[in-house]
């Protein structure tokens, strides 16, 4: 299975690496594993729904 790093996932999903770290630590990304202190996320993983908003996305990252 191919994996990506927190930084790669953050760029792909349009969020910060810290947000992706929260997703991993909370178990919200199926298949994510922590090896030697580094999170490895499957390349096929979908971005979890953002629970901070009703629509599931952050308004500041939307394009108008």
pTM, two decimals, is 0.76
φ, ψ dihedrals at 22, nearest 5°: -60, -45
Q: What pLDDT sits at residue 52?
A: 73
Q: What pLDDT sits at residue 13?
A: 94
The per-residue b/e assignment along 7-18, b for 16 or more CB within 10 angstroms, e otherwise, is eebbeebebeee
Q: What pLDDT sits at residue 62?
A: 57
pLDDT in tens, 8-61: 999 999 999 999 999 999 999 999 999 999 999 999 999 998 777 776 666 665
Q: What pLDDT sits at residue 49?
A: 85
């Amino acid at each position: 299975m191919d994996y990506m790093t927190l930084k790669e996932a953050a760029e792909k999903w349009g969020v910060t690496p810290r947000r992706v770290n929260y997703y991993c630590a909370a178990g919200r990304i199926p298949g994510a594993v922590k090896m030697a202190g580094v999170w490895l996320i499957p390349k096929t993983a979908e971005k979890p729904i953002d629970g901070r908003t009703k629509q599931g996305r952050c308004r500041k990252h939307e394009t108008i």
